[in-house]
Amino acid sequence: MIQSADFSVEEEIAKMKAISSRMGGIVTFLGTARDFSKGHDVVKLTFEHYSKMAEQAMLKIRESALEQFSIIDVMMIHRIGEIGIGENIVLIVVGAEHRQDAFTACAWCIDELKKTVPIWKREETPDGQIWVEERP
Amino acid sequence: MIQSADFSVEEEIAKMKAISSRMGGIVTFLGTARDFSKGHDVVKLTFEHYSKMAEQAMLKIRESALEQFSIIDVMMIHRIGEIGIGENIVLIVVGAEHRQDAFTACAWCIDELKKTVPIWKREETPDGQIWVEERP
Amino acid sequence: MPHQITIRFFAHLKDLAGMESVSLPFEQDCPLKQLIAQLEETIPALKSRGGIQMAVNHAFVNDEAIIHPGDEIAFLPPFSGG
Amino acid sequence: MPHQITIRFFAHLKDLAGMESVSLPFEQDCPLKQLIAQLEETIPALKSRGGIQMAVNHAFVNDEAIIHPGDEIAFLPPFSGG
C-alpha cells in the first residue's frame, strides 16, 4: 500500500497476528528518515511515485515473496509526500511459523522494493534539494 | 529485560527511534505463542527462568551485538509466566543506520537468546504438560 | 486517448524536462527509440539521462518497443524508495 | 550461607527432583562431580539427565569445578526461551 498518512506499527502487527494462530515469528522492517545521508545534513524528505506502476510492483513483491518463502503473509506500506526527520517511511511486516523464513523474506522484500518500485526520494538539505538516485 | 507483563511494540520502537536521528532502519523480531508445535496442539505456554543468570545472559547478548555489528542500539524483552495463544513472548528491536546490519544483528540476537538464556517453556496440550527442551 | 500519446517524467527528469507530463499528437506506430530521439531534440537535457528505465502503459520496455496511439510512456530514473 | 550449599532445579528437572531447590549442610570443598554423584543416590531420576548444563553462582561450570560452602549450584536443562 502507498499512502501519505503515517501508519501504526502496532496496528499492522495486530492485523498480521490475526491472520493465523500458527504464526510464531513476526519480523518487521521500519525505515525512518535520517538527518544525515552520504556526508550531508538532511532537513526533510519528499517521496514521489508513479502511482499505478508502484502499486503493481508492490503487489508483485508480495506475491513473489509468498511463492518463494515459507511465510504466512507479508504486508507492505510506503509513504509518499513530505516526511520529516525521524518519521516513518516504509514498513514491511512478515509473519511465519518459523523465524528464519520471516527474516529472509523481510530482508528480501525491502531489497526488492528499493530495486523495483518506482518511488523517488528528494532530500532537502541546507544547500538545496537533491533527487536521490543511488540504491542504498 | 525479563518481565511477566506484556509490552507494546510501538512504544519500544518509539524509544529506539528517540536514541538517534541517524537511525535509518529498525528491524524487529516478535515471537508469539503458536497454537501448534511439532505435531501437537498447544493451549497455553508457561515460561520459567533462572532470574539472575537470565538477566546477565541478556545483557551479554546486547553488549556482544553492539560490539560485533554496526548498529546503534538493541533492546530485548522476554516475558515469563503464563502466556496465552497469540500473545507476545519475546521482542527484539535493533536500530541501525543501514538495514543490513539491523537484520543481521536482530537474527543473531534471537538465535543467541534461544541458545544462551536460561529460560524454559512448558506447553500445555490437550494431553498434558510438556517441558520443551529442543532448540527450535 | 486515440491519436495522441502521453509522456511522463519523474524525479529529476521532471526538473530537466520542465514538466511532469505532456500529451503529443501521435498517428502512426513507431519504435520507442524513434520517439525518444524526437524528444531529445525538443528537450536536449534528456540526452544526459543515465540509468533511465522506460515504461509503456506501466510495464518496463526496451528501446525497441513499438508505441501505439493512446500509449502512456514514462521516463523512470533509478528508484530511491524505501 | 556458610556451611551449606543451595541446589536449584529447573523445568522438568524440578519435576524429577520433586523440588525447586534444596539447601544442604556442606563443610568441605569438593569437586562438583562428587556432589552430583551424592545427589544421584538421593534422587535417582537425576541420573537420566541429558544435555544438562551446570552453573555455580550463576556461571556455567564443568564437573571438575570445586564447590565451596555458600555456593548456589543449578541444574539447567536445555533452554527453550524465545
Chain centroid to Cα D46, Å, comes to 10
A110 located within any domain = yes
- The x, y and z cell numbers of residue A71, run together, are 511465510
Strand D72-76 versus strand C72-76 pairing type: unpaired
Instruction: Please give the CATH superfamily to which domain C4-76 belongs.
Output: Beta-grasp domain (3.10.20.30)
A39 located within any domain = yes
Q: Which residue of D has its CA nearest to B45?
A: D81
- The x, y and z cell numbers of residue A10, run together, are 502496532
Q: Which pTM was predicted?
A: 0.93
| Residues C8 and C32: beta-carbon distance below 8 Å | no
- The pLDDT tens digits along chain A (136 residues) read 999 999 999 999 999 999 998 999 999 999 999 988 888 899 999 999 999 999 999 999 999 999 999 999 999 999 999 999 999 999 999 999 999 999 999 999 999 999 999 999 999 999 999 999 864 4
A76 located within any domain = yes
Interface test with A, best of B6, B20, B34, B88 (most A CBs within 10 A): B34
Model pLDDT for residues B34-57, shown as the tens digit of each residue: 988 888 899 999 999 999 999 999
pLDDT, chain B, mean: 94
Q: Which residues of A touch B28 (CB under 8 A)?
A: 9, 26-30
Among residues 31-60 of chain A, which lie with CB inside 8 Å of chain C?
31, 47-50, 52-54, 56
A85 located within any domain = yes
In angstroms, the CA B64 to CA B72 distance is 13
CA distance A99 to chain C (A): 23
| Residues D53 and D63: beta-carbon distance below 8 Å | no
Q: Is the pLDDT of residue B136 over 50?
A: no
pLDDT, mean of residues C10-30: 92
Taking CB atoms and an 8 Å limit, are D79 and B132 in contact across chains? no
Taking CB atoms and an 8 Å limit, are C74 and A50 in contact across chains? yes
Secondary structure, 3-state, A59-92? HHHHHHHHHHCCCCEEEEEEECEEEECCCEEEEE
Beta bridge partners of B85: none
CB-neighbour burial class of residue A25 (10 A; exposed 0-12, middle 13-18, buried 19+): buried
List of chains touching B (3+ CB pairs within 8 A): A, D
- The pLDDT tens digits along chain D (82 residues) read 468 999 999 999 999 888 999 999 998 999 999 999 988 888 887 876 678 999 999 999 999 999 999 999 999 999 999 9
Taking CB atoms and an 8 Å limit, are A133 and C78 in contact across chains? yes
Identify which of A135, A87, A83 has the alpha carbon closest to the alpha carbon of residue A114: A135
DSSP D9-73: E-THHHHHHTSSEEEEE--S-EEHHHHHHHHHHH-GGGGG--S-EEEETTEEE-TTPEE-TT-EE
Q: Can you give the residue range of the structural domain that contains A112?
A: 2-131
The enclosing domain of A17 has a CATH number of 3.90.1170.40
B136 located within any domain = no
A136 located within any domain = no
| Residues A79 and A5: beta-carbon distance below 8 Å | yes
| Residues B76 and B99: beta-carbon distance below 8 Å | no
List of chains touching D (3+ CB pairs within 8 A): B
Model pLDDT for residues C35-70, shown as the tens digit of each residue: 999 998 888 878 766 789 999 999 999 999 999 999
Structurally, how many domains does chain B consist of? 1
Q: What is the pLDDT of residue A133?
A: 81
DSSP chain C: -TTEEEEEE-THHHHHHTSSEEEEE--S-EEHHHHHHHHHHH-GGGGG--S-EEEETTEEE-TTPEE-TT-EEEEEPPP---
Q: Is the pLDDT of residue C2 over 80?
A: no
Residue with cell 518509539: B14
Q: Is the pLDDT of residue B123 over 70?
A: yes
